[in-house]
Amino acid sequence: MRAYAIHAGLLAILLALHFTLPAYHHGNLARVMVLASYAMGYNLLFGYTGLLSLGHALFFAAGMYGMGLGIQHLGLSPAPALLLGLASGAVVSGLLAALALRTSGVAFMIVTLMFAQAGYLTVLYFGEVTRGDEGFVIQQAQRVLWGVDLSAEGNRYIAALLLFGTCLMVSLWLVRSAFGRVLVAIRENEDRVRMLGYDVFAHKLAAMMISGGMAALAGAAYGLLFGYVGATFASVQYSIFPLLWVLLGGAGTVLGPFIGTLFMFYLIDLGSDLTTAYMLIAGVALVLLTLFAPQGVMGEVRRRFWRELP
C-alpha cells in the first residue's frame, strides 16, 4: 500500500500543477507525461526483463501512424483511431518479437535496430501516403474525443495525465505481480528460470508485446494531443531517447522513466537556449550521472534509502 500511495501521490501533484503552472511549463509537462508513458513501456522490457532494444521507435511510430493515417485517410474518429494505433503497435511488436527473440545480447540489439530502420525507410518510401519527413497535421476538428477538444490546453493536459496515470499504475501492478517477478528472474538468471519450468520465450514475448503496445499507445496519444505525425518519430533518435530516459531515471524502477524524461527534457530545453550544441550538455550530464549515480536517480534512492522501492 505504501508503494501505491507514493505513486498515487505523484499523480495528485501532477493534477495540482495543472491549476498552478504557467502556460509554457503546462504544455511541456503534458509532453513529458506522454513521453514518460513511452519510456515506461521501454522500461518494462529493458529495466525488468533485461532485453536491450534499439528499435522501440518502430512501435512508437506504428501507434502514431496507425492513429494518424486512420484519421487522415480512413476518416476515423479519435477513439477508433487510437485503438487502431494500439493494435498496430501490438501487431508490429508481436511480429518483431517472434523474430528478434530467437537471438540474444548484441544480436538482439542489432535485429531490433535493423527493423526500426526498415520501418523508418518505409515511412519515407511511401511518402505520398505518410508525407515522409514533412509529416502531416491533424486538424483541430479531427481531435475531438467524445465531445472533448483535445487541442485545448487544459483538456490536453488532463488527457496526458490520464494516459500517464494508467501506464504508471499498470506498470506498478505488473512488476509486483507473479508475471513481473518472473521477468525480473529472467533478467537475473535466465537459465535458472528455465530450469524451474517457466516458459522463458512466452514471458519474453508477452513482455515485448506489452512494451510495444504501451509505446504505440503513447505514440498515438502524442500525435493526437499535439496534432502532428512525422517520420522524425520513427528515426533512431526516438529509439535512443527512451534508453537515456530510463538510464537517467533508474532502470527497473517504476518512477524512473518519468524522472529521467523530465530531467532530460528540461536539460535539452535549457541547453538549447545556451548553445546549438545542446546535446553535448546532455551527454556531459549523462556521463556525470553514470559516474556518480550509476543506477540512475531512483535506482540510487532505492539503493540508499528504500530497498523495497518497486
Per-residue pLDDT tens digits for 117-170: 999 999 999 988 988 888 898 988 889 888 889 989 899 999 999 999 999 999
Q: Which residue has the higher pLDDT, 293 or 45?
A: 45
The answer to whether position 268 is within a domain reads no
Whether residue 283 contacts residue 69, with contact meaning beta carbons closer than 8 Å, is answered with no
The answer to whether position 284 is within a domain reads no
26 vs 121: CA distance, rounded Å: 34
Task: Write down the pLDDT at residue 281.
Answer: 81
Q: Which of 41, 38, 34, 39 is nearest to 211 (CA)?
A: 41
* Residue 284: partners with Cβ closer than 8 Å, 6 or more residues away: none
Q: How many CB atoms lie within 10 A of CB 164?
A: 26
53 vs 21: CA distance, rounded Å: 35
In angstroms, the Cα distances linking 277 to 25, 105, 241, 260 are 23, 32, 17, 20
The answer to whether position 296 is within a domain reads no
Domains contained in the chain, number: 1
212 vs 227: CA distance, rounded Å: 22
Instruction: Give the residues across from 148 on adjacent strands.
Output: 145
45 vs 58: CA distance, rounded Å: 15
Per-residue pLDDT tens digits for 200-235: 999 999 999 999 999 999 999 999 999 999 999 999
Give the up-direction half-sphere exposure of residue 224: CA atoms within 13 A in the CB hemisphere. 37
Structural domain harbouring 160: 2-231
- Measured in residues, the chain has a length of 310
The answer to whether position 310 is within a domain reads no
DSSP designation for 177: S
As a whole number, mean pLDDT of residues 179-188 equals 94
The answer to whether position 154 is within a domain reads yes
What is the residue whose three cell numbers read 491533424?
A: 138
Global pTM value: 0.94
